[in-house]
């Protein structure tokens, strides 16, 4: 059945949606004229915070703008026809000579490219964000090109296959443009079916064809006649050794009577391939020259009877590839042509009829330029038909770069096998998300039509399945992965309000996981991380659209299971793509730690939860992951062919980041492209009623808050600069604007954050880990300065206190050193009263945020996208108790959990004065002496050292 078309929507509503959903999901939108009485109960669940569209926040100079510029150049210059190649090929359309990107995005990549199409979806999102951020028409034009092509692809998939007409073989030798041939593009799944009587049980045969192969796959057939893998006759372009082969058998592969060629046929050039068989002799010809002979043949075509399968370009072995390339002048004779006749065929220009005439069994000139029927010129009217190996045409709305069979096969799978089925709904999500982003940023109605059609098709497909089948599918590792498709479907529903779209979103509920998270039951150990993180962003959106509290509860509890219990210092999570036991950090460090997609999706989930809970912990995490893993995942150099983004970020000692994994088209390169073109998406949020503005991140930027007639400009070089200046101006006739300005005070900012308004200090002291509110009527030119002093601190791995990572404010510092063992680092030999470890390091002149230790180890920001070997974690070693540069001569004792005496002393920082520090030393010494970890004499020496030492503030 054909799903009904989407109802017409009001363009004003479309554009309003663009300013909201493009920036972030989280709002239910009402079509024009819809009364509040008709609003679904989701209205009560909608978040009262709203994000700003990317166009409303302009990045200023700084690290984010510099990283983004690299990705904008890549988006501007990459050939989008390469992305479209796999879509066009799948639909049997002209791929325009483009070569697919490779890696996961092509037929030759991992698992035969079963994820192809995902990268195009990411690329569309990147283009949409680039256009939304910059307004440069080049990005909109590229979006229109892709959307137009995908529209053509969907239409082609709905039709029976049609011939792709290309210049024929005579053009190569004579330039005769009038002659044409038929090409089957690799990845089109197309072949030619001949009528059953084509061989006519002939005792002799000649097979002749001009071929222009475009791929070097072994066992691709030109001709194949048979009933399966026991009785068949074939002529292949390449055997396992890469040379042509003719074979005939009635006993399977082991009983083949065959003739092999001597050299491979060239790619992308016409060659004539023929075989003659009469009596006991079979001769194989290439370009009219005999290249192989078998004089002991006992089988003939008559031995096969009337084969069920009579094909050009397809093998009776299902695993063999289809022939990729062009065919011209295909003939079959019921006799063995003479060597002279074959030579004439193999060397002729094609402008005159050969003396052998047309094949008397079948003859196809391949002159068709449309349709799916190939005319037979033999006089027997055995016309051939172009077919797809997977059947078809596709159901209405289907759009992909591979056949619908990927989705169908998943429905009967009981265990994952990505070489057979690799996450088709994950790929569908990327395409859907890209189309939605394209529509919301360019108002191209074709993109919305494609998105709605794809969801109509998914609903048609999934709504017929039993709930038990759906639960089994979504629980299968890799094959059943569906990414953030629920979020995207909910965003579509916010535009269409079609019930089947909301129903579709709920068909992806993975009840076992949802129920466990609602109950607070941590079952994440052993689960694939990125398969499940985006599920929860979708659940928050489902809460917003349905009002079902279990969805929001599950997402909240899930987040708390990941942060901090499975989170590395840089904000990433997972090792080898999976989660391990709760609280195990040092024990999971590897060269495949912190899959970059996980950070991307944790950021989305964090901001979405913040819209509802306003818990500062979400924005503390957001800052950590954004400033470290996300920024550090992008290499700091241009490249026209690859986005240069990491897949994994290994956190073992001496790791070098790989910015071109698997040819640069993995899931993480896709999300990395998106991350680098939306750095500003969470700098500011606003109350839906316009009563307050949240400043979440300190980043050089200008916000245009049109609803309030206000602009807010941040002038800062954060994080090089420890603070930011905000200038407020009005755009509505300089009228004052009353609203609350809420400045985020990071949890790590424990050294006295200061705020001034127009140069006047604010008397209240902002507390770390929250928001500091300034309530006033703002006038043009008002300035707010927030100073956020940094301190150098360490964070210990939850399962190994001595395994630590360094932070300076929000900046994760990594050691640059080629050694592959953990570096021993001491930091307490000059700790300040505030607890700041920075006095123990020396700043590197001319290199902001770079420091060296006394023994020459250099620390630099993780965010710098270099290829230096780095140490994200070091082994903290404080062998003796040193206070204020004075060595007490006492060995630094440890508690059973690994905490040392110095750790216990400095845990009480900041200290208001030296006296306060000395008192803390005395108290700690007494405790450790009483517990038998320290002798009284050593305790006295430590206390004496504390009293004699001098300390920085």
For the segment 653-677, what is each residue's pLDDT rounded down to a tens digit? 999 999 999 888 999 999 999 999 9
- Round to whole Å and give the CA distance between 313 and 194: 11
- Is residue 811 in a domain? yes
Is the same domain home to 356 and 478?
Answer: no
Is the same domain home to 276 and 348?
Answer: yes
- Round to whole Å and give the CA distance between 570 and 564: 11
- Is residue 953 in a domain? no
The residue among 149 and 35 whose pLDDT is bigger is 149
DSSP string, 669-736: HHHHHHHTT-TTTTSEEEETTSSEEEE-S--SEEEEEGGGTEEEEEE--TTTSSEEEEEEEESSTT--
Is the same domain home to 625 and 606?
Answer: yes
pLDDT tens digits along 720-775? 999 999 999 988 677 899 999 999 999 999 989 999 999 999 999 999 999 999 99
Boundary-marking domain end, from 739, 754, 787: 787
Strand pairing report for 874-876 and 824-825: parallel
Is the same domain home to 78 and 145?
Answer: yes
Give me the residue label for tokens 């996981």: 513
What's the sign of the alpha-carbon dihedral 28, 30, 34, 36? positive
* Mean pLDDT of the chain, nearest integer: 93
Over residues 268-276, the mean pLDDT reads 97
Is the same domain home to 774 and 806?
Answer: no
Is the same domain home to 363 and 429?
Answer: no
Check pLDDT > 90 for residue 20.
no
- Round to whole Å and give the CA distance between 631 and 636: 10
CATH code, domain with 754: 2.60.40
- Is residue 792 in a domain? no
Is the same domain home to 737 and 776?
Answer: yes
Cα radius of gyration rounded to whole Å, the chain: 34
The residue among 8 and 822 whose pLDDT is bigger is 822
- What pLDDT score does 14 carry? 37
| Residues 816 and 868 sit within 8 Å (Cβ to Cβ) | yes
CATH code, domain with 295: 2.60.120.200
- Is residue 866 in a domain? yes
- What pLDDT score does 42 carry? 44
pLDDT band at residue 349 under the 50/70/90 scheme: low
Written as six digits, the tokens of 336 are 């063995």
- What pLDDT score does 350 carry? 52
Whole-number percent of the chain with pLDDT over 70: 94
- Is residue 793 in a domain? no
| Residues 234 and 223 sit within 8 Å (Cβ to Cβ) | yes
- Is residue 4 in a domain? no
- Round to whole Å and give the CA distance between 276 and 359: 13
Where does residue 155 rank: exposed (0-12), middle (13-18), buried (19+ CB within 10 A)? exposed
Is the same domain home to 903 and 825?
Answer: yes
pLDDT tens digits along 408-426? 999 999 999 999 999 999 9
- Round to whole Å and give the CA distance between 200 and 361: 7
Give me the residue label for tokens 């250099």: 858
Check pLDDT > 50 for residue 35.
no
- Is residue 6 in a domain? no
Is the same domain home to 931 and 830?
Answer: yes
Is the same domain home to 541 and 647?
Answer: yes
CATH code, domain with 128: 1.50.10
Is the same domain home to 861 and 749?
Answer: no
Please count the CA atoms within 13 angstroms of the CA of 159 that sit on its side-chain side: 15
Q: What's the structural domain count of the chain?
A: 4
Boundary-marking domain end, from 357, 388, 419: 388
- Is residue 2 in a domain? no
Check pLDDT > 70 for residue 919.
yes
Domain of residue 195, residue span: 166-388
Check pLDDT > 80 for residue 31.
no
Please state, in angstroms and as integers, the Cα–Cα distance from residue 868 to each residue in 71, 814, 859, following that order: 21, 10, 11
The pTM of the whole model exceeds 0.85: yes
Strand partners, 710: 705, 730
CB atoms within 10 A of CB 820: 11
Check pLDDT > 80 for residue 896.
yes
Is the same domain home to 715 and 632?
Answer: no
Boundary-marking domain end, from 365, 388, 411: 388
- What pLDDT score does 347 carry? 87
Over residues 855-877, the mean pLDDT reads 97
Over residues 848-855, the mean pLDDT reads 96
Strand partners, 794: 806
């Amino acid at each position: 059945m054909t799903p009904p078309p989407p109802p017409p929507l009001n363009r004003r509503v479309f554009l309003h949606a663009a300013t909201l959903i493009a920036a972030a999901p989280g709002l239910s939108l009402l079509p024009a004229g819809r009364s509040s009485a008709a609003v679904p109960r989701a209205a009560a669940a909608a978040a009262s915070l709203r994000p700003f569209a990317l166009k409303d926040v302009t990045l200023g100079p700084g690290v984010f703008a510099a990283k983004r510029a690299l990705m904008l150049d890549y988006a501007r210059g990459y050939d989008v026809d390469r992305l479209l190649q796999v879509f066009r090929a799948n639909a049997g359309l002209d791929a325009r000579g483009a070569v697919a990107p490779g890696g996961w995005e092509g037929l030759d990549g991992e698992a035969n490219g079963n994820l192809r199409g995902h990268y195009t979806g990411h690329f569309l999102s990147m283009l949409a964000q680039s256009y939304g951020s910059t307004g440069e028409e080049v990005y909109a034009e590229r979006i229109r090109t892709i959307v137009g092509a995908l529209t053509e692809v969907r239409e082609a998939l709905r039709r029976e296959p049609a011939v792709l007409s290309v210049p024929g073989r005579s053009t190569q030798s004579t330039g005769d443009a009038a002659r044409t041939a038929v090409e089957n593009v690799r990845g089109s799944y197309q072949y030619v079916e001949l009528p059953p009587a084509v061989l006519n049980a002939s005792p002799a045969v000649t097979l002749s064809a001009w071929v222009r192969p475009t791929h070097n796959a072994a066992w691709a057939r030109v001709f194949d006649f048979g009933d399966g893998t026991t009785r068949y006759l074939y002529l292949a372009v390449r055997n396992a050794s890469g040379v042509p082969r003719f074979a005939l058998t009635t006993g399977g592969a082991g009983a083949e009577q065959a003739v092999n060629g001597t050299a491979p046929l060239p790619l992308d050039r016409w060659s004539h391939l023929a075989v003659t068989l009469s009596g006991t002799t079979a001769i194989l010809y290439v370009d009219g020259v005999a290249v192989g002979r078998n004089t002991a043949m006992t089988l003939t075509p008559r031995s096969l009877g009337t084969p069920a399968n009579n094909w050009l370009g397809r093998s009776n072995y299902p695993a063999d590839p289809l022939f990729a390339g062009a065919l011209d002048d295909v003939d079959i004779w019921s006799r063995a042509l003479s060597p002279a006749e074959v030579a004439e065929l193999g060397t002729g220009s094609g402008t005159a009829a050969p003396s052998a005439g047309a094949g008397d069994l079948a003859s196809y000139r391949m002159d068709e330029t449309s349709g799916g029927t190939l005319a037979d010129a033999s006089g027997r009217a055995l016309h051939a038909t172009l077919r797809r190996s997977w059947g078809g045409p596709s159901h209405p709305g289907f759009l992909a770069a591979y056949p619908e069979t990927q989705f169908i096969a998943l429905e009967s799978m009981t265990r994952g096998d990505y070489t057979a089925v690799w996450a088709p709904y994950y790929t569908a999500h990327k395409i859907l998300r890209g189309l939605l982003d394209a529509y919301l940023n360019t108002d191209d109605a074709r993109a919305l039509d494609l998105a709605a059609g794809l969801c109509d098709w998914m609903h048609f497909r999934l709504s017929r399945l039993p709930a038990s089948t759906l639960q089994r599918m979504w629980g299968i590792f890799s094959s059943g992965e569906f990414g953030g498709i629920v979020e995207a479907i909910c965003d579509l529903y916010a535009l269409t309000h079609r019930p089947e779209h909301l129903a579709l979103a709920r068909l992806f509920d993975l009840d076992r996981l949802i129920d466990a998270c609602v109950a607070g039951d941590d079952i994440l150990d052993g689960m694939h991380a990125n398969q499940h993180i985006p599920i929860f962003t979708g659940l928050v959106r489902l809460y917003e659209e349905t009002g079902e509290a279990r969805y929001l509860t599950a997402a909240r509890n899930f987040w708390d299971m990941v942060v901090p219990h499975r989170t590395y210092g840089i904000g990433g999570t997972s090792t080898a793509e999976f989660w391990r036991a709760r609280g195990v950090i040092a024990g999971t460090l590897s060269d495949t730690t912190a899959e970059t997609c996980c950070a991307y999706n944790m950021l989305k989930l964090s901001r979405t939860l913040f819209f509802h809970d306003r818990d500062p912990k979400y924005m503390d995490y957001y800052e950590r992951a954004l400033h470290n893993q996300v920024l550090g995942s992008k290499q700091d150099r241009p490249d026209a062919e690859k986005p240069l983004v990491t897949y994994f970020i290994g956190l073992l000692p001496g790791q070098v980041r790989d910015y071109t994994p698997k040819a640069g088209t993995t899931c993480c390169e896709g999300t990395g492209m998106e991350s680098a073109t939306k750095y500003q998406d969470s700098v500011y949020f606003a109350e839906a009623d316009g009563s307050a503005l949240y400043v979440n991140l300190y980043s050089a930027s200008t916000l245009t808050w049109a609803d309030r007639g206000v602009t807010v400009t941040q002038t800062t070089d954060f994080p090089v600069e420890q603070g930011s200046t905000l200038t407020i101006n009005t755009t509505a006739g300089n009228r004052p604007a009353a609203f609350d300005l809420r400045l985020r005070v990071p949890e790590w900012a424990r050294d006295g954050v200061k705020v001034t308004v127009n140069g006047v200090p604010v008397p209240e002291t902002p507390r770390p880990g929250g928001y500091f509110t300034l309530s006033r009527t703002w006038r043009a030119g008002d300035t707010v300065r927030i100073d956020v002093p940094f301190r150098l601190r360490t964070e210990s791995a939850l399962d190994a206190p001595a395994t630590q990572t360094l932070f300076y404010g929000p900046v994760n510092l990594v050691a640059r050193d080629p050694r592959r063992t953990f570096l021993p680092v001491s930091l307490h030999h000059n700790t300040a009263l505030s607890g700041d470890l920075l006095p123990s390091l020396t700043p590197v002149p001319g290199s902001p945020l770079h420091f060296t230790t006394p023994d020459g180890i250099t620390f630099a920001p993780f965010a710098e996208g270099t290829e230096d070997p780095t140490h994200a974690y070091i082994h903290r070693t404080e062998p003796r108790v040193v206070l204020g540069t004075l060595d007490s001569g006492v060995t630094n004792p440890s508690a059973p959990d690994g905490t040392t005496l110095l750790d216990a002393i400095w845990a009480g920082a900041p200290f208001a004065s030296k006296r306060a520090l000395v008192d803390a030393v005395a108290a700690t010494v007494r405790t450790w002496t009483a517990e038998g970890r320290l002798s009284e004499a050593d305790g006295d020496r430590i206390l004496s050292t504390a009293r004699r030492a001098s300390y920085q503030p």
